[in-house]
């Protein structure tokens, strides 16, 4: 990001307090809403949440902020050391500034959503496009009303493609984000049960996911899972070019086969059957994410052999089916950023097929936002757990009690462990003492369970 204080003020129609003409030309190199991560030259965005960001202005100044947005409701305590850009609502001004900057840089925008696979698909799309273009992509999972504007404002001035992940947990959210980013390509990876607590049915989830097309440019493309009837039905109402992917020959891009390995998955595509594609991650379900990315590469005329090369070594966001090595030498499959029944069953299926000289151990935490369906959906994971293939189960969270009850008849007591959500430290200690160098352990849960803390305690520290 490269703008001046004066340019920012004009873009969001802000009044500037505490300034002189020379300060208007001072460069701003980025934005920050977390003072713990503030860097010199940035604009501070004081957001209201559990805490009011205005209360942290002194920390922002110490961190090097050169200016701040400032709510007019707090003009009685304006900062004295840096210019304050006074606005009605800092979040709305932040979003408005991102739209201005997006128009200024004018990249092509690829927007990705879906119940599963959106982060992996985002990473794959960015890898393919980066072979030919300057690309900026969403960092981690910055995919909401704060994360999307932040991603936009992280773009360098030479960005040609912006690959932005969009999440949702309520109706209208994707409508807003899509209209903010105005994508050239909108991708829906799949429709699952994620957030069904808020929507009630998969039909309503599909309706909400389709909102990603609301800001789609008239000459844009809609890329979606053509094996999903809910999407095919709704796609008929979208008057733009379309491309489908999946496993059935009715799709524009479909997999002819797939070979799931422990650390990589190989497959072939109908368009170029002579080319063998490989992605550096386990799980046949990840092939669909690659097909979505290939669909985008095809739209922008990336040669298939270049796509093949980029997919083989793309940079995967942390904690998505990521293999790590534990302190004892055990292999750890970390997939702890999020979870829902579809995703959990897919990872369990792939994990059962891995080769190991020791035991397979699964650590499963609550899948959140399943509402009235939660007990039933947690218990349904039992169908994907075979005691002959997964030797030991660790469960954590209130909702996982339903799975614990379902598994008790088929697991010996010493091989089935249950913990309340507040017993994460105890789970970590018990698991660490149980593991042997030959074991493999898989961890999967919604982020609210914070199984990443268990992973951090298990993994080997890098040597200096």
Q: Give the residue ranges of the annotated binding site for ATP.
A: 114-120
Rounded Cα gap, residues 380 and 403, in angstroms: 7
Torsion of CA 14, 15, 18, 20, to 10 degrees: 90
Residue 146 corresponds to which tokens in the numbers above? Answer: 């704060």
Known binding-site residue numbers: 114-120
Q: What is the 3-state secondary structure (H, E, C) of the chain?
A: CCEEHHHHHHHCCCEEECCCHHHHCCEECEEECCHHHCCCCEEECCCECCCEHHHHHHHHHHHCCCEEEEEHHHHHHCCCCCCEEEECCHHHHHHHHHHHHHHHHCCEEEEEECCCCHHHHHHHHHHHHCCCCCEEECCCCCCCCCHHHHHHHCCCCCCCEEEEECCCCCCCHHHHHHHHHCCCEEEECCCCCCCHHHHCCHHHHHHHHHHHHCCCCCCCEEEEECCCHHHHHHHCCCCCEEEEEECCCCCCEEEEEEEECCCCEEEEECCCCCCEEEECCCCCCHHHHHHHHHHHHHHCCCCHHHHHHHHCCCCCCCCCCEEEEECCCCEEEEECCCCCHHHHHHHHHHHHCCCCCCCEEEEEECCCCCHHHHHHHHHHHHHHCCCCCCCEEEEECCCCHHHHHHHCCCCCHHHEEEECHHHHHHHHHHHHHHCCCCCEEEEECCHHHCCHHHHHHHECCCCC
Q: Write 205-210 long-range contacts (CB < 8 A, 24+).
A: 205/115, 206/230, 206/231, 206/234, 207/171, 207/234, 208/168, 208/170, 208/171, 208/173, 208/174, 209/113, 209/114, 209/115, 209/168, 209/174, 210/234, 210/238
Label the pairing between strands 322-325 and 331-335: antiparallel
């Amino acid at each position: 990001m490269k703008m001046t204080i004066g340019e920012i003020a004009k873009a969001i129609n802000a009044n500037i307090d505490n300034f002189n003409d020379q300060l208007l030309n001072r460069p701003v190199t980025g934005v920050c809403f977390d003072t713990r991560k503030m860097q010199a030259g940035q604009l501070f965005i004081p957001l209201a949440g559990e805490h009011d960001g205005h209360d942290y202005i002194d920390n922002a100044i110490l961190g090097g902020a050169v200016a701040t947005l400032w709510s007019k409701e707090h003009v009685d305590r304006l900062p004295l050391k840096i210019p304050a850009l006074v606005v009605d609502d800092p979040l709305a001004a932040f979003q408005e500034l991102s739209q201005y900057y997006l128009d200024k840089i004018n990249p092509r925008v690829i927007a990705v959503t879906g119940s599963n696979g959106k982060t992996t698909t985002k990473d794959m799309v960015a890898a393919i496009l980066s072979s030919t273009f300057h690309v900026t992509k969403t960092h981690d999972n910055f995919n909401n009303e704060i994360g999307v504007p932040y991603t936009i404002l992280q773009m360098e001035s030479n960005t040609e493609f912006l690959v932005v992940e969009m999440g949702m947990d309520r109706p209208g959210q994707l409508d807003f984000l899509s209209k903010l980013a105005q994508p050239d390509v909108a991708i829906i990876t799949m429709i699952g049960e994620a957030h069904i607590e808020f929507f009630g049915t998969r039909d309503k989830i599909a309706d909400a996911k389709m909102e990603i097309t609301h800001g789609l440019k008239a000459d844009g493309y809609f890329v979606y899972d053509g094996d999903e009837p809910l999407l095919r039905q709704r796609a008929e109402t979208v008057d733009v070019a379309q491309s489908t992917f999946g496993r059935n020959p009715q799709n524009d891009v479909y997999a002819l086969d797939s070979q799931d390995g422990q650390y990589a998955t190989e497959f072939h595509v109908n368009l170029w059957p002579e080319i063998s594609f490989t992605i550096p991650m386990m799980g046949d379900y990840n092939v669909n994410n690659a097909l979505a990315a290939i669909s985008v590469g095809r739209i922008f005329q990336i040669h298939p052999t270049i796509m093949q090369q980029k997919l083989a070594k793309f940079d995967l966001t942390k904690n998505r089916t990521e293999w790590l090595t534990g302190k004892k030498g055990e292999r750890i499959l970390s997939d702890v950023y999020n979870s829902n029944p579809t995703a959990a069953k897919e990872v369990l299926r792939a994990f059962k097929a891995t080769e190991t000289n020791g035991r397979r151990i699964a650590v499963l935490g609550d899948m959140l936002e399943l509402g009235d369906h939660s007990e039933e959906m947690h218990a349904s994971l039992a169908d994907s757990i075979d005691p002959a293939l997964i030797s030991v189960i660790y469960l954590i969270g209130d909702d996982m009690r339903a799975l614990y009850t379902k598994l008790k008849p088929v697991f010996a007591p010493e091989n089935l462990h249950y913990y309340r959500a507040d017993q994460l430290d105890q789970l970590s200690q018990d698991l660490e003492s149980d593991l042997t160098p030959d074991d493999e352990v898989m961890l999967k849960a919604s982020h609210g369970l914070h199984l990443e803390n268990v992973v951090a305690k298990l993994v080997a520290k890098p040597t200096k």
